[in-house]
Amino acid sequence: MSSLKNDRYLRALSKQPVDVTPVWMMRQAGRYLPEYREVRGQAGDFMSLCRNAELACEVTLQPLRRFDLDAAILFSDILTIPDAMGLGLYFEKGEGPKFERPLTSMAEIEALPKVDPNQELQYVMNAVSTIRKNLKGEVPLIGFSGSPWTLATYMIEGGSSKAFTKIKKMAFAEPKALHLLLDKLADAVIDYLNAQIEAGAQSVMVFDTWGGVLSPRDYKDFSLQYMHKIVQGLHREYEGLRIPVTLFTKNGGQWLESIAATGCDGIGLDWTTNIADAKARVGHLVTLQGNMDPSMLYATPTRIEHEVKTILAGFGEGEGHVFNLGHGIHPDVPPENAKTFVDAVHKFSRPYHQKG
């Protein structure tokens, strides 16, 4: 950690003292920045941008030039693994990601190829190493993946879904098929994240965007047990340095104790969970990341600052808080509001970290 000029984020994930609460934003490299839209235009389309290490590096660094962020996050997509498995990822304008060949049977799941992250996903590793080099030790680099359950939803539904009927039909009518898919995906995610760590990621995060659509029993069966397997399979130390892992289940606030029991270092919270309550329940076990409603960034500067103060006060004194939004920043948020947010976290958190 000592080679970093700013290691607040990694320190917070180890519950070590920091001078101010570290802050970064999910989707901090993205469409709300005009310079991002320009580079994406150059790339032609989203996946071409992901596959070009220089351009992926450029958009990763853009928010760090504007805002005093405490971490960079790899610019990529959560669906790289299913794409590498040959499902035919494409993006429909205004509708998000879709697959040409969604999975419908046990036979198709059995036939899925094993993905070598240093072959089919080499472009991601190239992006990681390029970004790490260009960060020059300013802040740590976060690598990430989608969770097995979340990846499976897209692979079976064929894209985004509101009711998740196809994957739930498989879960309840053909559980063996779904468990085989989730197990294959867990192995693929372990290999993928370990390859990112070897390429230069200093922390990793698993995004379980759709875990919150499951009942408590089904969440443990179909989502959490596979994230637990991932946590156990990751390099938790690499080249003598600790590699923290954060799990984020959207709408997962009711399962914090179970998530903490995986052995992860951090838990991402969305805005539907009260941070004081979360800290009381699991703050002794893990660092908490979150959790301002991204829509708060539409508000006035005064209102944004008030919200930051409220969340900081909710967490209170002590270490183990990484400030973030409760989900990704919206594409139409004014960049100056994001700056107000980031600056407010540093400004108003200082008193919480002064000892004595």
Binding-site residue ranges for substrate: 27-31, 77, 154, 209, 327
* CA–CA dist 132, 137 (Å, integer): 8
Peptide bond into 291 cis (omega under 30): yes
Largest Cα–Cα separation, the chain: 64
**How far apart, in Å, do the first and last CA atoms of the chain sit?**
26
Structure tokens at 158: 């064929």
* CA–CA dist 356, 351 (Å, integer): 11
Catalytic positions, written as ranges: 27, 31, 40, 77, 154
DSSP 250: T
* CA–CA dist 107, 293 (Å, integer): 42
Please, is 242 exposed, middle or buried when counting C-beta atoms within 10 Å of its C-beta (0-12, 13-18, 19+)? middle
Q: Are strands 287-289 and 241-242 parallel, antiparallel or unpaired?
A: unpaired
Sign of CA dihedral 34, 35, 41, 44: negative
* CA–CA dist 156, 30 (Å, integer): 27
CA distances from 43 to 38, 52, 97 (A): 9, 8, 17
Structure tokens at 277: 């309550």
Q: Which of 5, 6, 12 lies closest to 242, judged by CA?
A: 12
* CA–CA dist 135, 143 (Å, integer): 14
* CA–CA dist 200, 132 (Å, integer): 6
The alpha carbon of residue 180 and the mean position of all alpha carbons in its chain are separated, in whole angstroms, by 24
- Name 67's Cβ contacts closer than 8 Å, sequence gap at least 6: 28, 338, 339, 342, 343
Instruction: Give the alpha-carbon dihedral of 112, 150, 338, 349, to 10 degrees.
Output: -120
Q: Which of 191, 31, 35 lies closest to 113, judged by CA?
A: 191
